[in-house]
A and B are shown apart, each in its own frame.
Chain A
């Protein structure tokens, strides 16, 4: 494992940049625990101050320090994305693998359910949930709802991988050589399934964070949990861009872009690594 990461860092530009970006973002999130201001308080510092030595990233029109507010926001946003991704992984893996391996009527039933979920327009449903649940709609509840609605696309992918693995020769060989199903799954198949899972996790994080930002910008959010989308929402409420308070919008955007790009780069480079041909070609051996 350590060898792998080492190799990646040594040979793969994209991985390095990705890790670097994510480290910055995670550090910032970690700093939030040292914030001198309670996250939801307003007018704790003079409003609308541009970036300076006192207020590194400036202050907002609500009298909050952009740097500390941002650290809390990115922490909440990252936690949110991670939560959604993990929960929906569980569902998509279970559905995808069962469907792919077991086949038959199980497959048909699961895929029918799956397709229903793909087809349901997520956006109006989410907005409706907000209205039904109003103040009890916390960010965590949103994460739960999004993960229970957002697994469908990925489970189809996993299912197709599982189906193709089932019919491969080496699977047949493993069965004949007496490996238990569990061992087959773990030692033979997992390395194929893992990259898909990993990249879908990162994609899912990007998707859920993007959706959260969209909902928040439209005002559908938990006002008591600061997130990146929430910061942009408040900035709009105060027409920050037109009023010239550009730092209130720019820095959250840069942070969230860094997150997305970082996650994406890591996913891509790990994908490439796992496929031995591309790994070799990157390291300079083999054909181009």
Chain B
């Protein structure tokens, strides 16, 4: 017995020693055969990809898009940067120039660049663009089939550098389909797809690249993808800006948030896509080599996406504007940003994201109007706007965060936003009473005498920050006497959102370019022609199922003017005023993404001081970062 026991112990010890010292300490989660100095490691927020060997981005559901495929390998006609861009927000990528429309926007001409080659040596021509359109119209189950069939009557390529699109109906923003804001219609290689019988079943493995990187290797279990810089990188549209710094790119699935932080602290993850605010604060405190978008608080990069409380305006109680405004006036945005982002948020009272160049075109010019905006409850008049909310948030944070909180007024406005609606429970009460609601004890009752219930849907731990915001808002509504409840939809949010199966939810129905003032990106879909009946699925983005004849008027006017026409901004102002009055959703703050960049191996990342690109790793636009990154030593 004793001998058996000793033998057992000895085996255990031997195994442990062998294990612990069999590999050197550094080579943990990084590639074995690639020099670290030439490699940039980024997070793929899509996680572990189930059918990893699928690179046909034009087939629905197949594989991953943000594993480097759209960021490093593919290309299309134009890009609009959510920030300032390397050379202005608008970039003519495969196109040589901006699109040229005819007078009534039924025809679009594109002139293409010369000297661009696919990674297998074939030259890029207009035939590829034409094939991209034709193949997807012919095979109706592809990713962009519906959009193209709906818009394009015919596409011609009279010569190798010209493409002419003829549209079914006037569409002054047709070109936006080929303009990258996160993604777009990517151009496919005609010479590859011509040989394919059924493009929906073709896996495109190994992919042929149009942009500067080709596929080096990947994990059949979907955890990592490695891309290598093309030797002929000058023959790509990215090459205009110089040779990209990293020779290799690795997009990986780093696992749950704690692991991402640990990975970056170990210098095994150069760019984190997103982590919880606390993770960001930890990194900022513990790692001198981690940088975020902002130098200090609030760190996060504000995406051109406006998070808010989206009402289902077809719901019988939320139909009424007074009720919606009352619910808005019960919210204290300072507590909400504390709960959601620990204060690291950029707030917005108006329905435009406070990011990119929007503050200059919308937030600052409209502030005077917003300050003056008055609500008449029938019993009294109020001016609900408080321009100092951002300053109050900064003051609240200063005791615990000290020097990380900016002191300069302008910096505070840039980081935290401008003002918001002051909490006003009396005005809310008066509005609800006007709408026929009565308060019994501390509980609001609807006009038919039942308790006024509002279920606020949140996504759960798939979007933790929004869930936290929702929890706080429900708490505030409960305190004001509404029977409010959090409803965690987890994976079902997308289904329920389109089905209208909610009273309200935390999400966004406003997404914009960021680098360009045009609002039609989201606004066009809010036209009443697209509004679904209650019970039928609602196409994006009018999740609040709201329509208004004035809005239709604005949308139709925008459709008739060019993309860069400054009149668009005026119409944008009209939109802001209308939606503020009607409050179909309550704007809260920009969707802050806590992208963390490690400076140990690479420098030159975009930041708020140098906003030449969007660092968020899954955006196609993030490729502009590659040309500016230089080895750190």
Contacts and interface: CB of A to CB of B under 8 A. Distances in A.
Contacts of A244: 282
B455 interface: yes
A43 B278 contact: no
Interface in B243-260: 256-258
Contacts, number: 73
A223 interface: yes
Given A43-B335, A239-B261, 17 more contacts: A47-B342, A130-B490, A131-B492, A134-B487, A135-B485, A219-B488, A223-B471, A224-B485, A237-B461, A237-B468, A239-B282, A242-B257, A242-B262, A243-B281, A243-B282, A244-B282, A245-B278
A243 B261 CA distance: 10
A10 B276 CA distance: 52
A233 B256 CA distance: 12
B491 interface: yes
A134 B258 contact: no
A236 interface: yes
B256 A43 contact: no
A233 B471 CA distance: 15
Contact of B257 (A61, A130, A239): A239
Interface string B481-505: 0000111111110000000000000
A240 interface: yes
Main secondary structure of the interface of A (DSSP, over half): loop
Given A134-B492, A241-B258, A243-B282, A42 B276 contact: no
Interface in B439-473: 455, 460-461, 464, 467-468, 471-472
B475 interface: yes
Q: Which 6 interchain pairs have the tightest Cβ spacing?
A: A219-B461, A243-B278, A135-B487, A239-B279, A237-B464, A243-B282
Interface string B338-378: 11001000000000000000000000000000000000000
Most buried by B among A219, A239, A244: A239
A40 B467 CA distance: 14
A169 interface: no
A236 B256 contact: yes
Most buried by A among B262, B488, B490: B488
Interface in A212-232: 219-220, 223-224
A47 B279 CA distance: 15
B339 A131 contact: no
Contacts of A62: 339, 468
Contacts of B59: none
Contacts of B335: 43
Contact of A131 (B261, B281, B464, B490): B490
A54 interface: no
Interface string A47-70: 100000000000001110000000
A239 B258 contact: yes
Contact of B471 (A42, A135, A238): A42
A236 B282 CA distance: 14
Interface of B: 256-258, 261-262, 275-276, 278-279, 281-282, 335, 338-339, 342, 455, 460-461, 464, 467-468, 471-472, 475, 485-492
A224 B486 contact: yes
B472 A134 contact: no
B485 to A, nearest CB: 7
A43 B338 contact: yes
Main secondary structure of the interface of B (DSSP, over half): helix
Nearest to A221: B488
B37 to A, nearest CB: 27
Contacts of B262: 242
Interface residues on A, range: 20 to 34
B461 A233 contact: yes
A241 B497 CA distance: 34
17 contacts: A40-B475, A43-B335, A43-B338, A43-B339, A47-B342, A134-B487, A219-B488, A223-B486, A224-B485, A237-B467, A239-B258, A239-B261, A241-B258, A243-B278, A243-B281, A244-B282, A245-B278
Contacts of A220: 490
Interface string A117-135: 0000000000000110011
A243 B286 CA distance: 10
Contacts of A43: 335, 338-339, 472
Contacts of B282: 239, 242-244
A90 to B, nearest CB: 31
Contacts of A131: 490-492
Contacts of A47: 342
Contacts of B278: 61, 238-240, 242-243, 245
Given A43-B338, A134-B492, A135-B487, A239 B276 contact: yes
Contacts of B468: 62, 237
Contacts of A61: 278, 342
A223 B492 contact: no
A239 B488 CA distance: 20
Contacts of B257: 236, 239, 242
Nearest to A240: B278
A237 B258 CA distance: 9
A242 B261 contact: yes
A241 B472 CA distance: 23
Contacts of B490: 130-131, 134, 219-220
A134 B461 contact: no
A158 B11 CA distance: 40
A236 B257 CA distance: 8
A83 to B, nearest CB: 22
Contacts of A223: 471, 486, 488
Contacts of B338: 43
A220 B490 CA distance: 9
B339 A42 contact: yes
Contacts of A135: 455, 485, 487-488
Contacts of B487: 134-135
